[in-house]
Amino acid sequence: MHTLLITGPGGAGRTTVAAATALAAARQGRRVLLLSGDPGAPDDRLVELLGPTTGPVAEVAPGLRAVPVAHGIRAARIDSGEEFRAELVALQERGASLLGMLGGRPLGAEELTELPGAEQFALLRALRRAASAPGVDLLIVDMPPLHQAIATLALPAQLRRYLARLLPAERQAARALRPVLAQLAGVPMPAQWLYEAAARWDEELAAVEAVVESPATELRLVAEPGPASDEALRTGRLGLALHRLPVASLVANRTVPQDSADPWVADLAARQRKHADRWAAELTVVPLTHLGRDPRDLRDLTLLADTDGIAPREAAVYRRAWAVEDRLAEDGVLVWAVPLPGARKSDLDLIRRGDELLLTAGPYRRIVSLPSALRRCTVTGAALTDGELRVRFTPDPQLWPRER
């Protein structure tokens, strides 16, 4: 299944572009599932644009319901509050014995209100469910704004790393010793459900991570050409590159006609074209014409769906590997090349910690495991050249095999 995640700076028109993209693909005969994961969007916005509905709400995948709309598109919306309440109630039931031992009283579903961050987990869980929906060729996800979308997509890998550190594989041995430790300490040890819950979380996070990192998953950015979008896109693309999330295209939304007789409109068009041309130097840009008002219904959306390039390609953009260059013969070093388009020297920082590298790029941070060859080296420098961070590693004589 091809998965297209649509995001961009706030207010850029992501929901409209997601609906237009879905309509254009469906008119080409593709079976489309449109998932709304933006907590700030009105509940009925997608149905308003693609409506009226053509059938009842039905389950398209376990735990995910959708309504059929124009051209056979199925539109689903995430209810993060309901998801949060169901998960917390289930967690309480699994840990009932521990809660009872501590004297705690379970909370009822009716008294639970979702906590900050619940939207992210609900979106990731819905993304995993939607990716396994039968009879779907193209999954389009209306994501939150760009910075929040990057943080959400990076979450599964980060949480799996935390779980591996806090509850490592050696916990199997610790489990066998728990009764002895309980007698020595005089207090009960953590219950079995904690480890079982961690295993379930890791399994679910791994499934979500597989969807995010799939070669068939890519992003479409949406921005209104102008100076306000430039910096947001630059830092956003930096975060996407750091997490190796490929960008398929950029929709330059609400562009005005180039041939207007109105001097003000002509000047605005020239300034928009300047920004769009700059973006087109690095990305495939799809200009989407301003209708003169916000799209209101299917008729308006059809005008946008007729735009060349708005329908996504069949093939996905594949992730660019972080290559290790062997320059031992020439310079005595190995070079790890990390593509970071748009990066500035002031944006970057890196720290070596054991077999991991802590990379910072603007407001984003990622901890990556070093390839095996680089683990036997020390970091001896780094340079930023043409949007690529080149980290130099010198072999450690005590760890590197000696030539015979």
Q: Is the pLDDT of residue 181 over 50?
A: no
- Please tell me the predicted confidence (pLDDT) of residue 26: 95
pLDDT digits (tens, 9 = 90+) for 356-397: 999 999 999 999 999 988 999 999 999 999 899 999 999 988
Instruction: Give the residue-averaged pLDDT of 265-283.
Output: 93
Angle at 118 between CA 115 and CA 124, to 5 degrees: 170
Least confident interval from 97-111, 216-230, 342-356: 97-111
Domains defined along the chain, listed by start: 2-305 (3.40.50.300), 324-395 (2.60.40.790)
First to last CA, the chain: 51
- Please tell me the predicted confidence (pLDDT) of residue 79: 72
Pairwise pLDDT comparison (185 vs 268), residue with the higher score: 268
> Across all residues in the chain, what is the average pLDDT?
84
pLDDT digits (tens, 9 = 90+) for 7-35: 999 889 999 999 999 999 999 999 999 99
Kindly calculate the radius of gyration of the chain based on its CA atoms and give it in whole angstroms: 25
pLDDT digits (tens, 9 = 90+) for 288-312: 999 988 898 999 999 999 999 999 9
Residue 184, CA distances (Å) to 101, 177, 305 in order: 19, 11, 69
* Residue 98: its H or E element: helix 96-102
Q: Is the pLDDT of residue 185 over 50?
A: no
CB 269 within 8 A of CB 252: no
Angle at 318 between CA 313 and CA 324, to 5 degrees: 160
pLDDT digits (tens, 9 = 90+) for 317-344: 667 779 999 999 899 999 999 999 999 9
- Please tell me the predicted confidence (pLDDT) of residue 242: 94
- Please tell me the predicted confidence (pLDDT) of residue 260: 81
Instruction: Give the residue-averaged pLDDT of 209-235.
Output: 93
Q: 55: which 2 tokens?
A: 């059938």
- Please tell me the predicted confidence (pLDDT) of residue 261: 83
CA distance 271 to 277: 10
Which residues are registered as beta bridge partners of 3? 139, 217
Least confident interval from 35-49, 104-118, 301-315: 104-118
- Please tell me the predicted confidence (pLDDT) of residue 166: 75
Q: Around 338, how many Cα atoms within 13 Å sit in the side-chain half-sphere?
A: 29
Instruction: Give the residue-averaged pLDDT of 157-173.
Output: 73
CA distance 284 to 282: 7
pLDDT digits (tens, 9 = 90+) for 237-267: 999 999 999 999 999 999 998 888 888 889 9
